[in-house]
Copies of this chain bind each other. A is one copy, B any other.
Amino acid sequence: MGKPTISDVARLAGVSTATVSRALTGSLPVREHVKEQVQAAADSLGYAANSIARALRQERTTNVGMIVPDLSNPFFTLLVEGVEHRLQDLQISLLLCSSHGDVTIEAERLRSLQRSQVEVVLISPTHEFESAHALKTIARTVPLIQIDQFADGVETDWVGLDDALAMRTLIQHVVERGARTAAYIGGSATDSSARSRLDAARAECLRQGVALDEQNVLLGSVTIAGGEAASQRLSESGALPDVVICGADVIAYGVLQGFDRLGIKVPADVMVTGFDDIAFSALTRLSLTTIRQPIDAIAEAAVSVVQNLMGDAPPRPPHRSVLQPELIVRDSTNRVA
């Protein structure tokens, strides 16, 4: 009545359970005709090996866990999809968790994944500092790969974008289009990418001779509303800068909308840039110049580390895969110098 087991197959095929195991997994050679017999018996019973029993015996599963801060953010969604797809090709199951941007939930999910005996955890930590403790604890028992963001002092593998190079490329572009003054609108700097992008923007403005007044650095929430509010504040504070650099596309779309409402013309009165290249361009009247996150390449790099970690290769020191950004020039900076 219950599901067929390996002994059922063995009995039907007239061999031992060991032979069934070998025939089906190919772990050891089995005579051709025996193999066929076993296969036939398995098929006729609709047998599928119980992965629980296999995992117990082998002391390893084929599960990996993944924790992202926010599934309503297309960046993470696409990342999850890219990872899922590649893992399935490797016959690895994905246990997905969302931390909802909450460090407490994040810690809970980590423990839950640990109980599930996952082989590797992929995580985009939600807070640069507060996530660190839980991550360090878990990292003692299961290999971690940090993606995009990272937690302070947690030495694990990491896959992400070269934010510094991205900002350099971006600022070089707007300088070529005549920018001499800039504003920066970003997320409050509690996650590592928000901070690293801001740091990079500051450094590059300095290096390339663009004035970025501290009062023109506005940090808030990474949402359309946050961007719109910031554009409002910016317009009230006197002269507009040549360019508004946004730390994320959603912010930039809010800024575009805010300027539109205020009758400020982009790019004629002010240029605007984004970061991420989420697929909203098709929705808006004015297309956005931005930095494309190579999401698929990030997923690929992450999964390749997973393979590495799950293989029998000897332990190695943590490795950082730094991916190259791509500048996408569109209308929001379409201005002659």
Hey, which bits of chain A sit against chain B, CB under 8 A?
Answer: 3, 48-53, 55-56, 61, 63, 71-72, 74, 77-78, 80-81, 84-85, 88, 91, 93-98, 100, 108-109, 111-117, 141, 224-225, 253-254, 257, 260, 279-280, 282-285
Query: Across the interface, which residues of B come within 8 angstroms of A56, CB to CB?
Result: 50, 52-53, 56
Query: Across the interface, which residues of B come within 8 angstroms of A254, CB to CB?
Result: 282
Task: For A3, give the chain B residue with the smallest CB separation.
Answer: B141
Query: Across the interface, which residues of B come within 8 angstroms of A98, CB to CB?
Result: 81, 84-85
- In angstroms, how far is the closest chain B Cβ from the Cβ of A272? 14
- In angstroms, how far is the closest chain B Cβ from the Cβ of A257? 7
The CA-CA distance from A285 to B259 in the complex, in Å, is: 12
The CA-CA distance from A51 to B114 in the complex, in Å, is: 9
The CA-CA distance from A141 to B48 in the complex, in Å, is: 11
The CA-CA distance from A225 to B282 in the complex, in Å, is: 8
Query: Across the interface, which residues of B come within 8 angstroms of A78, CB to CB?
Result: 71-72
- In angstroms, how far is the closest chain B Cβ from the Cβ of A158? 23
Known: A94-B96, A117-B52, A225-B282. A88 touches B71 (CB 8 A): no
Cβ–Cβ contact B253 & A283, under 8 A: yes
Known: A3-B141, A78-B71, A280-B283. A48 touches B93 (CB 8 A): no
Cβ–Cβ contact A80 & B74, under 8 A: no
The CA-CA distance from A307 to B111 in the complex, in Å, is: 22
Cβ–Cβ contact B96 & A112, under 8 A: no
Pick from B55, B96, B114: contact of A96, CB under 8 Å: B96
Cβ–Cβ contact B51 & A117, under 8 A: yes
Query: Across the interface, which residues of B come within 8 angstroms of A224, CB to CB?
Result: 282-283
Query: Across the interface, which residues of B come within 8 angstroms of A112, CB to CB?
Result: 88, 91, 93
Task: For A78, give the chain B residue with the smallest CB separation.
Answer: B72
Cβ–Cβ contact A51 & B260, under 8 A: no
A-B pairs with beta carbons under 8 Å apart, 10 shown = A71-B84, A72-B279, A80-B96, A84-B96, A85-B98, A85-B100, A93-B112, A93-B113, A95-B96, A225-B282
Known: A88-B97, A93-B112, A109-B88. A285 touches B285 (CB 8 A): yes
Cβ–Cβ contact A108 & B84, under 8 A: no
Task: For A65, give the chain B residue with the smallest CB separation.
Answer: B93
Query: Across the interface, which residues of B come within 8 angstroms of A109, CB to CB?
Result: 88
- In angstroms, how far is the closest chain B Cβ from the Cβ of A262? 14
The CA-CA distance from A53 to B116 in the complex, in Å, is: 11
Pick from B51, B52, B225, B284: contact of A284, CB under 8 Å: B284
Cβ–Cβ contact A77 & B84, under 8 A: no
The CA-CA distance from A117 to B111 in the complex, in Å, is: 21
- In angstroms, how far is the closest chain B Cβ from the Cβ of A110? 11
Q: Given known contacts A50-B117, A93-B116, what 16 new A-B pairs fall within 8 Å (CB)? A: A3-B141, A51-B115, A51-B116, A63-B95, A63-B116, A71-B77, A71-B81, A72-B77, A72-B78, A84-B96, A94-B97, A95-B95, A96-B96, A257-B282, A280-B280, A285-B285
The CA-CA distance from A97 to B95 in the complex, in Å, is: 9
Query: Across the interface, which residues of B come within 8 angstroms of A114, CB to CB?
Result: 48
- In angstroms, how far is the closest chain B Cβ from the Cβ of A317? 20
Cβ–Cβ contact B282 & A284, under 8 A: no
